[in-house]
A and B are shown apart, each in its own frame.
Chain A
Amino acid sequence: MSTKTAGRKIVINPVTRVEGHGKVTILLDEKGNVQQSRFHIIEFRGFERFVQGRFYWEAPTIVQRLCGICPVSHHLCAAKATDMIVGAKTLTPTAEKMRRLMHYGQTLQSHALHFFHLCSPDLLFGFDAPVEQRNVIGVIKADPETAKKAVLLRKYGQEIIKATAGKKVHGTGAIPGGINKNLSKEERDVFLKDIDTILQWSVEALELCKKIVKEKLDFFLKFGAFDSNHLSIVRKDGCLDLYDGLLRAKTADGKIIFDMVKPEDYLDYIAEEVRPWSYMKFPFIRSLGKEKGWYRVGPLARINNCDFIDTPLAEKERQELMSLSGGKPINASMVYHWTRLIEMLHSAEKIKILLNDPDLQGTNLITQGTKQKRGVAWIEAPRGTLFHHYEINDNDQIVLANLIVSTTNNNEPMNQVVNVLAKDYLQGKSEITEGLLNTIEVGIRAYDPCLSCATHALGQMPLQVQIVDHKGELVHELIRG
């Protein structure tokens, strides 16, 4: 490509503390101005082929192996799609609530992991702190109490997953039309004993994040900020709902693009673009086209999109946050962290409500109705809206599968954040420092991308930086790790 030979190319590879493997390329022109920025993601989409020919009831168990980080989201989303296939329009209260409990447990543990292990080192020590300190070990050394709580918060979420899905990772709980177990009183009591502590710690984590962000509010609101549309599901009444709802999209300044879209109609609203340099597709809102139709998903989009939250502590926090922008969507990348912790608190509140609900001890677990050939569902995975679409033949075999995963939905925003930060921070600089490069990583990390191979090594992964001149020759290289 002409742009490649016209200037220098800086490659950051791999991005550390991103769950998986990615590569950043920043192309500078001869004057050192940022020409183009790309976040390359090696994503394995083989699962869509892999499930072809398999039976629809296997989908929830097979596709969750797409990801070792949020398998529950795939498990539940596939199960919801197969609910449609077996004609289960409404699940039994026990099934619906067990699945929700699983999902809130997953959200709690995923958000806790992200905040404490991946993002807090940046926030606590500064973006250009030495890499030996700026990792989870550094957090443990600096604040062992917080680190301990982080581990236990995560463990609590994982135990909830185990109690609902049978295993902490890759369980089988959700099945077409329902769930295969309820929550025994003994299991419930173990969780009830600790839930108030979990709630308290969720509040503390949010307070810590808010304190850091508020100290440098202007900086955080500007860092990696750019306008975008926002996409998420919301409940029928506009309430935040992470497990189920209808699709809503808003513009950067809060105008509704579409609302109350049903899963089975998703293809009328969302399309995917393929770009030659990336394995990952770029989804966009059809009515706005490829150029303008891309959007953010995930905690920030969800908090921006919903009208309210139905748990009191999280709702109070939402109001406080949204008052920063007079109720309009916030378009600042770093606010992802803040919204992520509002959702962590919301999940803890939801878990408490569910644990006190006797429906979880119900024994009516499965519903069925008239069989359908097509099943489409979505769920708000920790990292954003996740779509699963299956079609089956007369023999119950899957003949088509289409998955749009959360990180794919956030593909363009991650490219945007790299571009914005490269323009702001690398412009004209001849020396590339660790801190400078990490700035870009910090921006990407705000989106909590979960890339297909979860081989992050918490600050130990080598980081390779290359500057290639317009003749394709290496002029500067920085390797760390």
Chain B
Amino acid sequence: MSTNVVTFTIDGVEIKSAPDKTIIQAADDAGIYIPRLCYLKDLPPGGHCRVCTVKVNGRPVNSCTYPVAEGIVVENDIEELNSFRRNIIEMLFVEGNHFCPSCEVAGKCELQALAYRLGLLTPQMPYLYAQKELDATHPDVYLDRNRCVLCGRCVRASIHLDKKNVFGFENRGINMKISVNSNDGLQDTNLSKEDKAMSVCPTGCLVVKRQGYLTPVGKRLYDKKPIGSEIETKKVKS
């Protein structure tokens, strides 16, 4: 057995992967979609959201942080886990203030697309109707915390890709929120609309201004194909 390759299974499918990969990376390469929210290919994993939870040898782990290993048995697309993922997505919906029908990122929003893919049409949990702040002070971008899922992608992108450190988390638990490194909101940060951080938000929270609704309904990212199909098509090709 070569030390450069490990072999394991996801839902019974045999996968070969380099040993330094995480499960989600190996799955992506193999064209198997593991639902995720805070993980993004070009960023270090955050391990915040737990949507990517899989079972490894029967034990639940984050697939975005857990390394592959020889012979492990990974379970992914099973109802037990999908229902768990649905619960997380549902909680994110009721904790925030999401009004998809008029939201400018509807159709390309990962939260909305995950809800559709996992079969969550209407949350059953009570809405919290929490007061959240909208920071519109920056001339070119806005931060609408009503739609933030605290995935931390912006935090990591600003640090690792833009070398700026504009975003961070404040408070804990239910009071946790995304903050910016200035007392006067985004206008006083060195964030620019060209920053990589501006293209990583999975929802309509961190958004470039005056770009809304440019793509007609029917042509938006997830109008025709569900989220994850971009990964699954790789499998079909190979």
**Does A associate with B in a complex?**
yes
Interface pair A166/B214, CB less than 8 Å apart: no
Interface pair B104/A58, CB less than 8 Å apart: yes
* A-B pairs with beta carbons under 8 Å apart, 30 shown: A53-B134, A55-B136, A55-B142, A55-B209, A55-B212, A57-B104, A57-B212, A57-B213, A58-B102, A58-B104, A61-B101, A61-B102, A61-B212, A62-B102, A65-B101, A65-B102, A165-B217, A166-B218, A167-B217, A170-B101, A171-B217, A173-B216, A175-B212, A175-B213, A175-B214, A181-B216, A181-B219, A395-B142, A396-B136, A396-B209
Interface pair B214/A395, CB less than 8 Å apart: no
Interface pair B102/A180, CB less than 8 Å apart: no
Q: CB within 8 A of A57: which of B101, B210, B216?
A: B210
Q: Is A172 an interface residue (CB 8 A)?
A: yes
Return the 5 tightest CB-CB contacts between A and B, nearest first.
Answer: A166-B217, A395-B136, A181-B216, A62-B102, A61-B102
**Interface code B95-119, partner A: CB below 8 Å = 1, 0 otherwise?**
0000001101000000000000000
B214 contacts which chain A residues (CB < 8 A)? 175, 180
Interface pair B104/A61, CB less than 8 Å apart: yes
- How many residues from A make CB contacts under 8 Å with B? 22
Q: Is A146 an interface residue (CB 8 A)?
A: no
Complex Cα–Cα for A181 and B142 (A): 26
B229 contacts which chain A residues (CB < 8 A)? none
Q: Is A397 an interface residue (CB 8 A)?
A: yes
A166 contacts which chain B residues (CB < 8 A)? 216-218
Beyond contacts A172-B216, A172-B217, A180-B213: 7 other A-B pairs, Cβ-Cβ < 8 A, are: A53-B134, A60-B213, A61-B101, A62-B102, A170-B101, A175-B214, A396-B210
Complex Cα–Cα for A53 and B97 (A): 14
Q: Is B137 an interface residue (CB 8 A)?
A: yes
Question: For window 373-396 of chain A, which residues contact chain B by CB distance below 8 Å?
Answer: 395-396
Q: Is B190 an interface residue (CB 8 A)?
A: no
Interface pair A172/B213, CB less than 8 Å apart: yes
A165 contacts which chain B residues (CB < 8 A)? 217
Q: Which residue of A lies closest to B209 (CB)?
A: A396
Q: Is B215 an interface residue (CB 8 A)?
A: yes
Interface hub of B102, B137, B214, B217 (most chain A Cβ within 10 A)? B102
Question: For window 14-71 of chain A, which residues contact chain B by CB distance below 8 Å?
Answer: 53, 55, 57-58, 60-62, 65
Closest chain B CB from A370 CB (angstroms)? 14
Complex Cα–Cα for A165 and B215 (A): 11
Closest chain A CB from B214 CB (angstroms)? 6
Closest chain A CB from B139 CB (angstroms)? 8
Q: Which residue of A lies closest to B187 (CB)?
A: A395
B212 contacts which chain A residues (CB < 8 A)? 55, 57-58, 61, 175
Complex Cα–Cα for A202 and B209 (A): 44
**Interface code B125-144, partner A: CB below 8 Å = 1, 0 otherwise?**
00000000010110000100
B218 contacts which chain A residues (CB < 8 A)? 166
Complex Cα–Cα for A474 and B174 (A): 54
Complex Cα–Cα for A173 and B218 (A): 11
Complex Cα–Cα for A320 and B137 (A): 58
Question: For window 385-428 of chain A, which residues contact chain B by CB distance below 8 Å?
Answer: 395-397
Interface hub of A57, A165, A171, A176 (most chain B Cβ within 10 A)? A57
Closest chain A CB from B186 CB (angstroms)? 10
B219 contacts which chain A residues (CB < 8 A)? 181
Question: For window 148-204 of chain B, which residues contact chain A by CB distance below 8 Å?
Answer: none
Closest chain B CB from A393 CB (angstroms)? 8
Interface pair B134/A180, CB less than 8 Å apart: no
Complex Cα–Cα for A166 and B214 (A): 12
Interface pair B136/A397, CB less than 8 Å apart: yes
Complex Cα–Cα for A167 and B210 (A): 22
Complex Cα–Cα for A278 and B134 (A): 35
B137 contacts which chain A residues (CB < 8 A)? 395
Complex Cα–Cα for A57 and B104 (A): 9
Complex Cα–Cα for A65 and B103 (A): 12
Closest chain B CB from A158 CB (angstroms)? 14
B104 contacts which chain A residues (CB < 8 A)? 57-58, 61
Q: Which residue of B lies closest to A366 (CB)?
A: B214
Complex Cα–Cα for A58 and B134 (A): 14
Complex Cα–Cα for A127 and B212 (A): 49
Complex Cα–Cα for A469 and B159 (A): 76
Complex Cα–Cα for A61 and B213 (A): 9
Question: For window 163-204 of chain A, which residues contact chain B by CB distance below 8 Å?
Answer: 165-167, 170-173, 175-176, 180-181
Closest chain B CB from A18 CB (angstroms)? 25
B213 contacts which chain A residues (CB < 8 A)? 57, 60-61, 172, 175, 180
B142 contacts which chain A residues (CB < 8 A)? 55, 395
B136 contacts which chain A residues (CB < 8 A)? 55, 395-397
Q: Which residue of B lies closest to A171 (CB)?
A: B217
Complex Cα–Cα for A248 and B54 (A): 67
Complex Cα–Cα for A366 and B134 (A): 27
Closest chain B CB from A72 CB (angstroms)? 14
Complex Cα–Cα for A166 and B209 (A): 22
